[in-house]
Amino acid sequence: AQSVTQPDIHITVSEGASLELRCNYSYGATPYLFWYVQSPGQGLQLLLKYFSGDTLVQGIKGFEAEFKRSQSSFNLRKPSVHWSDAAEYFCAVGGAPTGGGNKLTFGTGTQLKVEL
Amino acid sequence: NAGVMQNPRHLVRRRGQEARLRCSPMKGHSHVYWYRQLPEEGLKFMVYLQKENIIDESGMPKERFSAEFPKEGPSILRIQQVVRGDSAAYFCASARGQETQYFGPGTRLLVL
C-alpha cells in the first residue's frame, strides 16, 4: 500500500530564510509525486509535480523539489521564504495512470509559519 | 478558464439529514475525484468517477455515501442520514487525463 510521511507537523522560519519541508513516500512502483499548498479555508493549489526525467523539478512561487529514489524522498525547498508562504503544505503520491485512475495518497501536512 | 467549482462552500446539517455536495470540473476535464479532509488530517481518497461511471469507490464508506457524475451537470456526493463524524471538508479534483488533479475550494460540512 502506498503511504506518505511528512515528519514535521509545524515549522517556523524567519522571512528571508531558506526552507526545506520533508516528504518520504512508500510506493511499490514508479511514483508520481506532488506538492500542494493550502491556505486557511481554501482548496489545494498545485506547487509542482514529478513524473519522470530530471529529478530536480521547479514549481510556482519559487519552490523546487528533488526526487531521491534511494531515499524515497521528495523534499520541497525554497531559498528565501516570504511572509505570504505561510500555509499548510501537503505531499502526495500516486501511480502511473491506468484505466483505474490515479488516486492520490496524501501526507498529514506541514504547517508553515513565517516570522517577520 | 474557470477552475473547479464546488458548492455550497459551507453546509450545516442536523443529524439524520441529507447532504448534497456538488462539483463542476474544469472545462474539458472528464475525470473527477472526491477526497475528505478530517480536522488536523490530510486528504483521504473517497471515489473516482468518469462521466456516468464509478471507476473506483474503494475509499467510500459502505453505507450512507454515494456519488455520481451524470452525462450532463455536476458530480454529486451524497451523504444520507448524516452523523457528527461526517463533519469535514470535502474536496473535489478534476483531471483531463489521469495525471494532474486540480482541486476545488472544498465544501465544509458541519453536522450539528
The confidence score (pLDDT) of residue B112 equals: 96
Cβ distance A106 to B43 less than 8 Å, yes or no, reads: yes
State the 10-residue block means of pLDDT for chain B, 112 residues long: 88 98 94 91 91 92 95 95 96 85 94 96
Closest CA–CA distance from residue A78 to any residue of chain B (Å): 22
The confidence score (pLDDT) of residue B1 equals: 53
Q: Which three cell numbers stand for residue A40?
A: 486557511
Average pLDDT of A61-86? 96
Hey, is the C-beta of A31 within 8 angstroms of any chain B C-beta?
no
Closest CA–CA distance from residue A116 to any residue of chain B (Å): 25
DSSP string, B51-111: TTEEEE-TTS-SSSEEEE--SSS-EEEEE-S--GGG-EEEEEEEESSSS--EE---EEEEE
